[in-house]
Structure 1
């Protein structure tokens, strides 16, 4: 009997893996995306398909860990300063969208003949967008770090927070239970807030020392176990406090985003995240009750379309009111038009207190799942009807894979093109990657072979040959991207020679702290040549000009060294003369009355250099 049970479990595991392996490539090949492939595969092997599984709910609870780990990875990319910069989007844009869409969807239910309580709860559940689906779509398209992607992430964060007051609203609307449950719900809200504060304090003061102790033990498997412990422990803490597990994992990621162990944690969690997230979508597909859909197909079809259209309209309206472009507003409306996994929790809670019956719960759950199924199709239709004007054809562009150059150049704009020329003239084997398709195609016209690749992704760096290269040149023009690539390279390949283009002095300091071997501010040398040529035009002897320029270099290096060591903390005071450098001032000609001190003159006279450049 035990052998038969073991065989049955093994059959289910094989069925899960086979369903995903077969369905996802097919659906991606026909342009419908991996999410719809997982959902359809789950429907096929679930209780209402081939019946390989009879209890899909149990699988769904396990599979929710995929969403949890996915949110942890996203949190690792969201430094607290970056998250603070999104506060207006989270509590402004997010709250406005939730409010407008909730009002529209609730009104729709009321006009359909439902009670006020049923209309409010059903509409509120559909307002909660699927975090797993939207984040997966953004990741596949590479839009998470873009401004429009960050706005969507902000809205999702607000919706995750909204589950707490919505559960309190369920208790308030429960028949005959207002007086006895409102105070309890308020207490639960207080517990939730306390849990968030406790998690923040633990993350700030305990996590880094904890991982440092484990790192000293030099046991990689223990670090992996600790990463899983942090993710799942944070998720459990939030769940026990009445909040979502995903919110706990996200907070844990944010708190570790500035840790020196960030990249190792990401590498440890990534394999579990991918498998469990796919399992989540499979389980969602299994939970679709086809019998309920068949018995009420007309009503369900009407409400699926009506809810998705009304919600999309509300999202588009809010976006346009806040001066978002038509294209971005339309894209956001289609991507976020479905209901989310947190609606299952809200509807189950409403059914438990008698606001809706079991049949209504099953119907609403079916509506949510069908909206999830329709989202990839709606996006495919949007792409057909509105050809992208910001994404070029990939014709003639090869993706970085299996490159083996001695030098890897990341970014082939103005700076990278010039930096590559001495190497190419000397016959150095150079590999070049960039993520600007138009630039790659233009470079090909001039005989340059540039591969498509995002240098901020570890898998792309491996595919581009960073693990085999003798040196990597970071030539991208965005300061934050350059620093991120530098941190990733030095964390993964600590002995690799890394040289970087710095936008300004502040970026240079960040790159130096990241451990790179060489950096240069993109305008520094050209500005020195420019100034030297000006002196020569004014009649100064070329040898004297060379001495002056060399002295400027020396003094700039000394000031930079002082800033690195922490003796100069803020360069903004340099014109005020608050902090003087101990480097002796060179002999200069007397200044004419009324002659202004420019930046470099002030620097040569012993004032502090500005942090900007």
Structure 2
């Protein structure tokens, strides 16, 4: 009998797992293609295959309880990004801007719900405060993929999201204090939970220093990759279990565990090992949320859901924009920040469930407000796109940034102070050369200012701006910006206007190099060419080749590549010209011939 039950349970697990993962993959691909994001794809997939939809799978609540580990892992990875020094540097934004955002948005939305929906003030508070939180799972990946997570704008958004995540503990405490469920009355009072929180955090920090760090060193010395996975998951689950036993936020425990490891030399190893589990379980979390949505209740009140979703986005965007301005942020970036964080968040689903268990709201209300959060999330991809444009927008007259006319006249002008331009400018300044740096990305200029590097705002391809920067007296003009469309039509007038300057251009690829080949440029460098050659040299050293043999290979490769480029130019820019000269499996040099050539002194 027990065997039959086990077989039946296994069958159910496999069949439901196949259906859930298949639906999730299909809808995520579809939603990604339309630019709507993976989160909405999972939510819709769960709603369709769940008990309220096609009823292909059941047990949404049980799956939701398991999948909440995905939220825990997300907070752990957030903690890994924050070493204590960075956390301290962002304290004003985290505990100032973040605190005010949670309070102002939560209370404003509570007021809207209380005044216009007929809910009691306790129910309105249990619904409004969670709506003040935004979606970490949507916003953070977007900031990371666009490279803005470490920009001043990204750090403001990150600080607000971090405080929102930290605020889950007091929000759960508030809901517990308002609870009408007799079972909750036996729980610890709020002041006791606060003491538990402080004690648990101190205990986790001490455990990280005196237990976890030595354990990681031991695992690192053993060199067992599987042990890193085990230790990483053990750290997350043990921290979450400790918090859960104290009736505290498991997500907060995981976050503290991440911060403990943020300075560890094994941080990247653990992050890479935990990330796949986080991705799968977070996807399962959103699938489970979709499964427990009461679709019938939503369809019965479509105007209510749409109206409150619009109000949610508008109220949060307006309040966050106002707070950003109060903290000295430019109104464009403030509005961009407001739009970026205007949606409801995934922790709202968790808190709505808490409010339902506390008998503050009915299950239908939890489904309605979960649908409102979901609909607000659907606006995020579009608002993020608009926010990114606002973030990098600058007044046309450049009134809020210094132009290059304020710079001292330098020997060299470096146009574009990104990762490429920084190296060129640093080397020139190390040689004693006076350098004027120009960039047209406000975010890049702000980041450079934090390192005490003065970069001037402007479009360095305009002749009038170059004149104001002192190009008529400059000996070098280096175009280091990342612009694959920078062509001879733009460069030729600059060369004619400033004939005394040696012109250097960073070329994006062979096509751009061919485009500029007919101009008398002092130097052009393909942006990854030299670094790739350097890695090739290191790889051949690892194979045991002598420096003489490697140098000969490098010379032959450079000569062949130069000849192929000449043929492509002669063919009018035909990228396929000379392709027979490329090395491949059928056409490669004989290593013995290379060594013999070197030994013969060729």
Q: Report TM bin, short chain.
A: 0.5 to 0.7
- Where does the alignment leave 5 or more consecutive residues of structure 1 unmatched? 391-409, 421-434, 452-460, 473-492, 496-613
1:439 aligned to 2:444?
no
From 414, 418, 423, the counterpart of 1:415 = 423
Indicate if the aligned counterparts of 2:83 and 2:259 stay in contact, CA closer than 8 A. Answer: yes
SS in 2 for 1:439: coil
Q: Name 1:320's counterpart in structure 2.
A: 325
From 260, 278, 282, the counterpart of 1:277 = 282
Q: Name 2:363's counterpart in structure 1.
A: 358
CA distance in 2, matches of 1:278, 1:347: 19
Q: Deviations over 1:11-37 (max 9, x none)?
A: 322223323333333332332233333
From 500, 504, 507, the counterpart of 1:448 = 507
Q: Name 2:439's counterpart in structure 1.
A: none
Deviation at 1:108, TM superposition (A): 0.9
Q: Name 1:60's counterpart in structure 2.
A: 64
Distance 1:50 1:352, change over 3 A: closer
From 77, 80, 88, the counterpart of 2:81 = 77
Deviation at 1:382, TM superposition (A): 5.8
Count matched residues: 429
From 178, 185, 189, the counterpart of 2:190 = 185
From 340, 343, 346, the counterpart of 2:345 = 340
1:166 aligned to 2:166?
no
1:21 aligned to 2:63?
no
Q: Name 1:99's counterpart in structure 2.
A: 103
CA distance in 2, matches of 1:438, 1:3: 64
Distance 1:153 1:411, change over 3 A: closer
Distance 1:69 1:283, change over 3 A: same
From 150, 155, 164, the counterpart of 1:150 = 155
Deviation at 1:124, TM superposition (A): 0.8
Indicate if the aligned counterparts of 2:93 and 2:160 stay in contact, CA closer than 8 A. Answer: yes
Indicate if the aligned counterparts of 1:66 and 1:273 stay in contact, CA closer than 8 A. Answer: yes
Indicate if the aligned counterparts of 1:284 and 1:369 stay in contact, CA closer than 8 A. Answer: no
From 289, 293, 302, the counterpart of 1:288 = 293
**Which aligned pairs between 1:175-574 and structure 2 lie closer than 5 A?**
184-379=189-384, 389=393, 411-413=419-421, 415-416=423-424, 439-441=481-483, 445=487, 446=505, 448-449=507-508, 469-471=536-538
Indicate if the aligned counterparts of 2:333 and 2:391 stay in contact, CA closer than 8 A. Answer: no
Q: Deviations over 1:287-344 (max 9, x none)?
A: 3221110122232222222222222221122112222222322222222222223333
Deviation at 1:280, TM superposition (A): 2.7
Indicate if the aligned counterparts of 2:67 and 2:281 stay in contact, CA closer than 8 A. Answer: yes
CA distance in 1, matches of 2:59, 2:187: 34
From 3, 10, 13, the counterpart of 2:14 = 10
1:39 aligned to 2:66?
no
Indicate if the aligned counterparts of 1:129 and 1:340 stay in contact, CA closer than 8 A. Answer: yes
Indicate if the aligned counterparts of 2:289 and 2:349 stay in contact, CA closer than 8 A. Answer: no
SS in 2 for 1:412: helix
Indicate if the aligned counterparts of 1:39 and 1:285 stay in contact, CA closer than 8 A. Answer: yes
| TM-score (normalised: structure 2) | 0.63
Distance 1:268 1:414, change over 3 A: closer
Distance 1:25 1:173, change over 3 A: closer
Deviation at 1:70, TM superposition (A): 2.7
Indicate if the aligned counterparts of 1:444 and 1:450 stay in contact, CA closer than 8 A. Answer: no
Deviation at 1:221, TM superposition (A): 1.3
Distance 1:206 1:389, change over 3 A: same
Indicate if the aligned counterparts of 1:32 and 1:380 stay in contact, CA closer than 8 A. Answer: no
CA distance in 2, matches of 1:275, 1:369: 19
Indicate if the aligned counterparts of 1:72 and 1:249 stay in contact, CA closer than 8 A. Answer: yes
CA distance in 1, matches of 2:154, 2:423: 28
Indicate if the aligned counterparts of 1:56 and 1:287 stay in contact, CA closer than 8 A. Answer: yes
CA distance in 2, matches of 1:326, 1:340: 24
CA distance in 2, matches of 1:203, 1:333: 36
Indicate if the aligned counterparts of 2:332 and 2:393 stay in contact, CA closer than 8 A. Answer: no
Distance 1:288 1:174, change over 3 A: closer
CA distance in 2, matches of 1:168, 1:294: 32
Deviation at 1:203, TM superposition (A): 1.3
Distance 1:116 1:81, change over 3 A: same
SS in 1 for 2:189: helix
User: Which moved further from structure 2: 146-155 or 233-242?
Assistant: 233-242
Distance 1:170 1:36, change over 3 A: closer
SS in 1 for 2:293: coil
Distance 1:288 1:416, change over 3 A: farther
Task: Let me know the Cα RMSD of the aligned residues.
Answer: 3.6
| TM-score (normalised: structure 1) | 0.62
Distance 1:186 1:45, change over 3 A: same
Q: Deviations over 1:589-610 (max 9, x none)?
A: xxxxxxxxxxxxxxxxxxxxxx
Q: Deviations over 1:420-476 (max 9, x none)?
A: 9xxxxxxxxxxxxxx99982226975473469xxxxxxxxx9xx979964459xxxx
Q: Name 2:143's counterpart in structure 1.
A: 138
Indicate if the aligned counterparts of 2:71 and 2:282 stay in contact, CA closer than 8 A. Answer: yes
User: Which moved further from structure 2: 245-254 or 37-46?
Assistant: 37-46
